[in-house]
Chains A and B, each alone.
Chain A
């Protein structure tokens, strides 16, 4: 990752210096080694804080909605660093006319999988002050206030990277990557299948338990590149379903089902929802369910694989399956 990182940063500087772009959307170093934040750098000087490492999981596509328009208004171009999975979101936003493509320079960056600081903490590390990637490329040494330890990278990957869709970029103007595309990593629908195999009562209990944690902070929605509505129906009093957190009500379920439905066929499975959920709710299980259903009912479809696709929910064939054919899954 180190090598790609250096090249990415150098190239971003170069493109800024030569005037190809006047802004760079990347990740800015933070207080700790792991808390880099999405940031749009506006000067070559400021790029000293640009980082690209194992903790740059945030998907920058959504930021291009505002920034591509702003860049155009200023007569410049914004460079955006996109990991392979991020490019799907970028394409989907292009499909929906949300990004002014001509104002964006996509620098595709290779990715070997992002680490999740929360998962490192879950391994029992407290007071983490740093990590080093070991020479084997498979483990991290974790430094803490209370001593050092080691952890396998595979065990602390962000969920979306655990089920990486592949190392290929769907769109880019320039690519910096050392990765061969080995295709998807793991079976991303395994979690969905596991749930489907449960009895309805167990499924209900599972979701009841998970969703009762929801605090309706809207992080999932606000981070989601598909949830890019100017005003969400859940924020719009005129919509009739606007709501704010209310415990013991139906609202959490309603919120998550509707949200999943609204992004069905548009969700690229970028995994941001699960990554940002402060309560650790596996929200991707909603979206992957829809992706799996769509694939099974209407044929394989990957939102964002290319710009301009017609999504499965704004499409049909005369011999689509009947809703009645969607039968009870699993036992009783």
Chain B
């Protein structure tokens, strides 16, 4: 657990433009609150998210990274999220293998109509990251000074 009381988690959310980003918009227009710790990066598709981006986020001091895309089968580009699913399953397994807490990474499928789900997922993820505390295992010490 974090010892720093002022600590606020840094959470990067990669959202695909067609479903999850729109879902986040809907969460916004529906005023379905979630913590401000979540910062969204818009991608055309979840399959655009390179594992490098996720590691880079951790390197720079992110405490959690979540990737949201269209539900499998509903990808705007037909098949993108199927590849995402495989890549992330393997990447997350590897992060777990090197001892990084499994809870720091997550994939969620959120459609454009699921504003409520988006909000729920983010609330849940932030709570989970708060539980895990500050990310001390992966990250560049130089960024933490």
Interface string of A255-291 (1 = CB under 8 A from B): 0011011001000000000000000000000100110
Tell me the complex Cα distance, A294–B87, Å. 10
A330: nearest residue on chain B (CB-CB)? B96
A297: nearest residue on chain B (CB-CB)? B89
Tell me the complex Cα distance, A324–B108, Å. 8
Residue pair A233, B97 in contact (C-beta under 8 Å) = no
Q: Which of A196, A293, A325 contacts B90 (CB 8 A)?
A: A293
A319: nearest residue on chain B (CB-CB)? B72
Residue from A203, A316, A318 having most chain B Cβ neighbours under 10 A = A316
User: Is there a chain B Cβ closer than 8 Å to A39's Cβ?
Assistant: no
Residue pair B85, A289 in contact (C-beta under 8 Å) = no
User: Is there a chain B Cβ closer than 8 Å to A195's Cβ?
Assistant: yes
Contacts of A318 in B (CB 8 A): 72-73, 82
Residue pair B79, A316 in contact (C-beta under 8 Å) = yes
Q: Is the interface of A mostly helix, strand, loop or mixed?
A: helix
Among the listed stretches A53-61, A64-72, A246-254, which one makes contact with chain B, having 4 or more residues with CB under 8 Å of it? A246-254
User: Is there a chain A Cβ closer than 8 Å to B101's Cβ?
Assistant: yes
Residue pair A313, B86 in contact (C-beta under 8 Å) = yes
User: Is there a chain A Cβ closer than 8 Å to B51's Cβ?
Assistant: yes
Tell me the complex Cα distance, A323–B96, Å. 12
8 A Cβ contacts from B43-96 to A = 51-52, 55-56, 58-59, 72-73, 79, 82-83, 85-96
Residue pair A207, B52 in contact (C-beta under 8 Å) = no
Q: Which of A204, A205, A249, A320 contacts B142 (CB 8 A)?
A: A249
Contacts of A240 in B (CB 8 A): 52, 56
Interface string of A321-332 (1 = CB under 8 A from B): 111111111000
Number of interface residues of B (CB under 8 A): 38
Residue pair A312, B86 in contact (C-beta under 8 Å) = yes
User: Is there a chain B Cβ closer than 8 Å to A245's Cβ?
Assistant: no
Contacts of B141 in A (CB 8 A): 248-250
User: Is there a chain B Cβ closer than 8 Å to A298's Cβ?
Assistant: yes
Tell me the complex Cα distance, A203–B91, Å. 16
Contacts of B90 in A (CB 8 A): 261, 264, 290, 293-294, 297, 313
Contacts of A323 in B (CB 8 A): 85, 88-89, 92, 105-107
Residue pair A320, B73 in contact (C-beta under 8 Å) = no
Tell me the complex Cα distance, A317–B73, Å. 10
Shortest CB distance B93–A (Å) = 5
Shortest CB distance A214–B (Å) = 13
Contacts of B39 in A (CB 8 A): none
A199: nearest residue on chain B (CB-CB)? B99
Residue pair A316, B86 in contact (C-beta under 8 Å) = yes
Residue pair A316, B82 in contact (C-beta under 8 Å) = yes
Shortest CB distance B110–A (Å) = 13
Q: Which of A254, A294, A324 contacts B55 (CB 8 A)?
A: A254
Residue pair A201, B99 in contact (C-beta under 8 Å) = yes
User: Is there a chain B Cβ closer than 8 Å to A241's Cβ?
Assistant: yes
Contacts of A202 in B (CB 8 A): 99
User: Is there a chain A Cβ closer than 8 Å to B102's Cβ?
Assistant: yes
Contacts of B24 in A (CB 8 A): none
Tell me the complex Cα distance, A328–B82, Å. 22
User: Is there a chain A Cβ closer than 8 Å to B131's Cβ?
Assistant: no
Residue pair B73, A233 in contact (C-beta under 8 Å) = no
Tell me the complex Cα distance, A13–B52, Å. 48
User: Is there a chain A Cβ closer than 8 Å to B31's Cβ?
Assistant: no
Tell me the complex Cα distance, A141–B120, Å. 68
Residue pair B86, A298 in contact (C-beta under 8 Å) = yes
Shortest CB distance B24–A (Å) = 20
User: Is there a chain B Cβ closer than 8 Å to A200's Cβ?
Assistant: yes
Q: Could you list some 10 contacts between A and B, CB below 8 A?
A: A192-B97, A203-B98, A250-B58, A250-B138, A250-B141, A254-B56, A313-B83, A318-B72, A326-B92, A329-B96
Residue ranges of B at the interface with A (Cβ–Cβ < 8 Å) = 51-52, 55-56, 58-59, 72-73, 79, 82-83, 85-102, 105-107, 137-142
List 18 other contacts, CB 8 Å, given A204-B99, A258-B52, A261-B91: A200-B100, A200-B101, A202-B99, A240-B52, A241-B56, A248-B141, A250-B141, A257-B91, A286-B94, A313-B90, A316-B79, A316-B83, A316-B86, A320-B72, A323-B88, A323-B107, A324-B106, A324-B107
